[in-house]
Structure 1
Amino acid sequence: MTSDPVVPRVTVRQLLEVPRFRLRLVAGAEGLDRPIRWAHSTELLDPGPYLRGHEIVLTVGASLEGAGACAAFADSVKAGRGGAIGYGVGDVTDATPGELLRACDRLGLPLLEVPAEVPFIGFTEWFAERLASTRAERHDREETGRLLRMVQQGLASPEALRTRIDDAGLDPASLLVIAMDGTEDELPGVLGLDGDTALLVTNDAHAWSEPAGIGSPGPLEHLPLSVTESLAALEAARRGGGVVHASDLATFKALLGRLDPAQLAPFAEQIARPLGDYDSAHGTRLVETLRTFLDMGGAVGATSRALFLHPNTLRHRLGRIEALTGRDPLRFDDRVALAIAVWAAAQRGGSA
């Protein structure tokens, strides 16, 4: 069995809860959270070279005679990245050998006792059934992801998703889309996969794993916009971490955050750098003055009070800023450029 990102894994703890196997943990309890993806039956004393990792290695102990053999077998399973050992009682011995118990406890390798009436092939069949089900489910999610992209691009009507939405028990009057990094989690809604991105159509704005972008809610026909918003919000969340909502996108900082460094570089170099260099050379406080002026919404009186300056002194500093940058802080368009420069310089770790 080759490694496959679609192969579903369970933990040893979860495998113990499968009713059909009636397994009993007899050693290696500290490894209960080790993942298991497949079953491998063997009577070889050294099965490690034949493992691909995360198997439950099943044996009836035909080659496990004595403490040395038990220790070598357990060591080989651990070296081959096996997840656990399943010992079938009733064929060679009526109980799991004590030497094997002690070896598995030493390694922290779970040892499960398999009842005599449970055939080893049942494990392989169970994992194969889960694999087939998971692959079918993933295919359906990929189809849903492609359909959501087509809806976003106007190539398909949102009505194409109505059956899926109804089957999921969602309220079509208030749907939103959550974009997140690909997930295999069970989430409340219709889950589509678009490459490495999961797109969840849901009524629950809290059904996400970080980072995530959350589109705005609305009726079925609102879905194209919600998909677009969720993807843009996810990009912002990937840069800054956490969760970004559609409402967070309509801000000045969010807009700047979507620009790449090359687009911001002229503001940092042409505006922020001359101010920082001037302050360093002359001991002035033009950068601080500009930041405060911007925070105060371009109000001379409020800025003067915040900096404990006479308004004429502030106007003199603003004039110096204009002379150095070519942007008049009292003009709205220029003030926007100055604000971008301050933000860009802060992102680059500059003096502005």
Structure 2
Amino acid sequence: MSFSESTSGTKSSEGTCQATLRDLLGVADLQLQWILGDHGKMERAVRWAHTTELLDPSPYLRGGELVCTVGASLTHPEACCSFVAAVSGANAAALCFGTGDLHEDIPSALLDACQQHGLPLLHAPKGVPFIRVAEYLSERRVAAEIQESRRAELLMSKLLAAVRGQVPVSGMVAIVAESLRGRVELIVDERVIATEGADRAAEGVLVTAAVEKRSTLTWSGAGVAPSLTLLGQLGRVIELARHERDVEEALKRERVGQLLLLVEDRLANPIALRPILYETGIDERRLVLSAWPDGAAALLSAHLVDSLIGEAPGIALAVTRTADPAYGAAQMLTLPCGYSSPVELVELPRAIAEARAALKLARRRGGAVGPDALTSLEGLLEQQPERRLSPFIDQILTPLITSDDRHGTRHVETLRTFLRLGGSLQDTAKEQYLHVNTVRHRLARIHLITGHDPLVFADRVALAIALWAYDRRQTGQNRAM
């Protein structure tokens, strides 16, 4: 299968990952101030923060940067004019000038040059390192990419459920159109098979993915376009639904799925699978079991060659020679997958349980998760029911969150950093731009509020569990919304 793409307009999928100048101004910790510029330009997307003291940084700019400087080279009016002309000519989003190191005030010549070129000018006070701006933009991009990945996962899950529920192709195209907020068309042999969604705006974007030799899936709209890869993956599922009419194969997958569940519950002997494995060419002395979301079996049959696929209520299961095919399919299909360690056929019940536990963790992380992840604290916690972890949230973390909200403190943030950095006071202080004694004081307050001392290993583990359980609960609520 091949992909192709054609676009028009100015918006792209990259925009979803970018903060705007207005976003930066709204971050209290950055303390950035808007000095001059058309306020409409506050909506400019900021691709990155580039710190420089060169008079002409344009060779190192790609456009969309927030150019940060303390003005080491801006010692006379001509230098200010040249610098602003270079930054503006490189299509930077804005200029950020830091005072307190070399200049007590922003040079008037710089103000005039920015006004002349229409370049927005921001001010960073002394004590606010530019690296914090870059860190914020990086965190924002990563968070957006994770959110987009989860959105793609959710959409794929909806389509797989539609395949399982025998939803017509037009209904599946409608699901994609609604989720991607645009108009979607499935075209086969230059004939429109299904069209769903609102008409695209005149200045919208058009993305076309060639799914098979004679079929394409197109998206058009005035908003942010989906990536070509995602559209191609969705097209493959829809095409599969269009062609999936082989009742015998579907029944075989269901029989295999039922047998695997009986093996898992030890109501059937794994040896019962021996003839099917022999027919598939899988060595019973070494096999890997992978678990997938409900409805994925038909899709897996098209991508996991020489494997045994089972469709069971609420889950799809696959038996392969090694973990590599499952890992590759998870990346290609943007689906969560949990796979077991290699086992012999008689150990299949353990492998199924292992794969199920890994799938739970993969639903949070995305992609494929193997048995090595289950030996971590996160892997252990992922296997616990929510009711078992709720007391950690209610009795430990909730009082701390309430205290932060009431007093405007940041104890939860400090605790997160302290735990992530392995309980290092020095590293925590450095990352949070605090004195070590301030970190000690905050940890003492956390001890007082929660009854758990972050400096004691057993208490630190309890605090880590509370934070992890809280994050899982929040993720579950967001997905439910």
CA deviation vs aligned residue, 1:166-212 (integer Å, no higher than 9, x gap): 11112333210122233223432122222242221111432445232
When residues 313 and 173 of structure 1 are mapped into structure 2, their CA distance, relative to the original with a 3 A threshold, is same
Query: Percent of aligned pairs with the same residue?
Result: 43
Cα gap change, 1:173 to 1:318, in 2 (>3 Å): same
| Secondary structure in structure 1 of the residue aligned to 2:190 | helix
What letter matches 2:274 in structure 1? R
Q: RMSD over aligned Cα, in angstroms?
A: 3.6
Preserved contact between residue 322 and residue 342 of structure 2 (Cα < 8 Å): no
Q: In the aligned structure 1, how far is the partner of 2:411 from the partner of 2:164?
A: 55
1:156 aligns with 2:268: yes
| Residue identity matched to 2:316 | A
2:316 is paired with a residue whose SS is strand
Kindly name which structure, 1 or 2, has the bigger radius of gyration based on alpha carbons.
1
Deviation at 1:335, TM superposition (A): 1.1
Answering whether residue 165 of structure 2 is matched by residue 165 of structure 1, we say no
C-alpha contact 1:6 1:135 (8 A) present in aligned 2: no
Q: Which residue of 1 aligns with 2:401?
A: 276
Describe the shift of the 1:240–1:282 C-alpha distance in structure 2 as closer, same or farther (beyond 3 A): same
Aligned residue in 2 for 1:203: 321
CA distance in 1, matches of 2:320, 2:459: 43
Structure 2 runs not aligned, ≥5 long: 1-162, 170-187, 195-243, 476-481
Q: What CA distance in whole angstroms lies between the structure 1 residues aligned with 2:426 and 2:365? A: 35
Q: Is the aligned partner of 1:331 residue 2:449?
A: no
**1:329 is paired with a residue of what secondary structure?**
coil
Distance 1:33 1:230 in 2: 38
Query: Does the Cα contact within 8 Å between 2:425 and 2:436 map onto a contact in 1?
Result: yes
The normalised TM-score by structure 2 is 0.42
- The residue type equivalent to 1:198 in the other structure is A
Q: Structure 1 residue 225 and structure 2 residue 350: aligned?
A: yes
Letter in 2 for 1:155: L
Which residue number corresponds to residue 246 of structure 1? Answer: 371
* Residues 274 and 224 of structure 1, relative CA distance in 2, 3 Å threshold: same
1:266 aligns with 2:391: yes
Classify the secondary structure of the residue corresponding to 2:309.
strand
2:359 corresponds in structure 1 to 234
Find 2:258's aligned residue among 146, 151, 166. 146
Q: Which runs of 5+ in 1 are unaligned?
A: 11-27, 35-129
Which runs of structure 2 are paired with 1:1-352 in the superposition (5 Å)?
29-31=189-191, 134-180=246-292, 181-182=294-295, 183-184=297-298, 185-186=301-302, 187=304, 188-205=306-323, 206-207=325-326, 208=329, 209=333, 210-239=335-364, 241-304=366-429, 306-307=431-432, 311-347=436-472
Larger displacement relative to structure 2 (298-307 or 267-276): 298-307
Cα separation, partners in 2 of 1:316 and 1:241, compared to 1, 3 Å: closer
Per-residue deviation, residues 5-38 of structure 1 (Å, max 9, x unmatched) = 698x99xxxxxxxxxxxxxxxxx8423767xxxx
Instruction: Look up the equivalent residue of 1:202 and give its one-letter code.
Output: T
Deviations 1:313-336 (A, max 9, x none): 443332221111111222222111
What is the CA deviation profile of residues 241-279 of structure 1, one whole-angstrom value per residue up to 9, with x for unaligned ones?
433323233322333344455444433333223223333
Question: Secondary structure of 2:266's match?
Answer: coil
Give me the whole-angstrom Cα distance separating, in 2, the residues matched to 1:150 and 1:215.
18
Give the stretch that moved more between structures: 226-235 or 302-311: 302-311
Closer/same/farther in 2, CA of residues 348 and 202 from structure 1, 3 Å limit: closer
The letter of the residue matching 1:137 is: E
In the alignment, what sits opposite 1:55? Answer: none
